[in-house]
Structure 1
Amino acid sequence: MNAKRTVLELLGRAGMFPGEAEELVALVEAGAIAGAHHEIGKPRDAPAGSGEAYGSGWRDGALATSDELGHAAERALERALGPALSGSSGAVARDRHPVGRVDVERAKVAVIPLYLEFSDLSELDPEVSDEVLTAVLGTMNVVGRVGYAGQLEQFTASGRERLARLYAHYGPRGHIAVHGRYSLLHSPTSIAVLERLAAAGPALRAEWEHAELPPAWLDGLATAWEASEAPPA
């Protein structure tokens, strides 16, 4: 607690309002817990030579620890952000904390370097990054948002070749004529939208509709993603 108080005092001296400082520290705390939650949740076998009973206990213990870490992260955020709102206006994110400015800014920091691995920043980037990322983040709970940067990195690493083909053909470096339905491929937010299309497509479409974003953008991304699945014969 002394370390936390010191950090809050330093942030206050730097000009940050107390509420924002509390939220930032809570996000750091929850992020550390969410990272541990993610690591423990990875499938791992019991030590070699262990019996079946030991292996079963190993898996049960890991699951129980993972669940408790998830609850701990939620409690850390609730202390700073307040309880989740029931019956929120979002189509998916009911009984959750609404997506906040810090969530969106953190997502921007995560997607830009990943996008630049495959493409260039484009003047044709639609000026709706906040709205797009709010829809993306609305598909997950608050703990998921805290750990989303790591999830994006995993998605990018696992689909690197496919993403390279996608942006080479449809992105700012591509030769395809710019078309409205592919506009989002000129935006760093497209990395996050692609990840959510793959992981939570129906939830993303519901949030997208609620935000009144152009349906053609999602359809264009889905079409381009499908077309980039395999290299041309």
Structure 2
Amino acid sequence: MKFVKMHGLGNDFVFIEDKAGKNKDFSQLAVKMCKRHTGIGADGLIVIVPSEKADVRMRIINADGSEAEMCGNGIRCFAKYVYDHHIMAKEEFTVETLAGIMKPKVLTGEDGKVQLVTINMGKPFPERRKIPMNGPSGTVINEPLTVDGKEYRITSLLMGVPHTMIYVKDVEQVDLPVLGPKFETHPAFPKKTNMNFVQCIDSHTIKVHTWERGAGATLACGTGS
């Protein structure tokens, strides 16, 4: 099997092509390939598939085998892959995802290879029913949520995938491997949630530690940003 390993700000992926375009179940393959010690090692498996709705289709299967709707860093890597491998010849194109049609734009260097990718991922949806999150209708902003008997103030929204934020004084003091999965699988989130612990450094800078739904702790998260 031929594959390519790529990363966006440390958020890493294994890429394969499914030229037949069938809805294959890649769950077990993703689990095996993404294992850090016995596989290639990655946060997820990304599959390039032909599309009937857009120029090309992206599937993202998390390291635990679950399929995600979208991935910000993943689609940036995806755009570079399909352009550099001549699957796409134009610098702006459409990508079918489970979160809708995305439109990345690539900028190339003197060698003709992609140096930068920009993408408009659309607007965030803070409404509870769209996240989705259990409870009364309305937005989820600075709302209390109890985890292990402790109350936290959370803000949640949908950015292609569910995201929840907690603002803290020092992200380095957050026990991410312990708290991350407890928020991810909290009963309030029927489709689970990505978890972002955010520290405001100054009026222009934030520091974020992310626990990603289906992947665990990641070095970066595009949709989370």
Whether these two folds match at TM > 0.5 is: no
TM range (shorter): under 0.3
The structure whose Rg is larger is 1
- Greater fraction of residues in helix: 1
Asked which structure has the greater RCO (Cα within 8 Å, sep 6+), the reply is 1
Q: TM-score, normalised by structure 1?
A: 0.23
Q: TM-score, normalised by structure 2?
A: 0.24
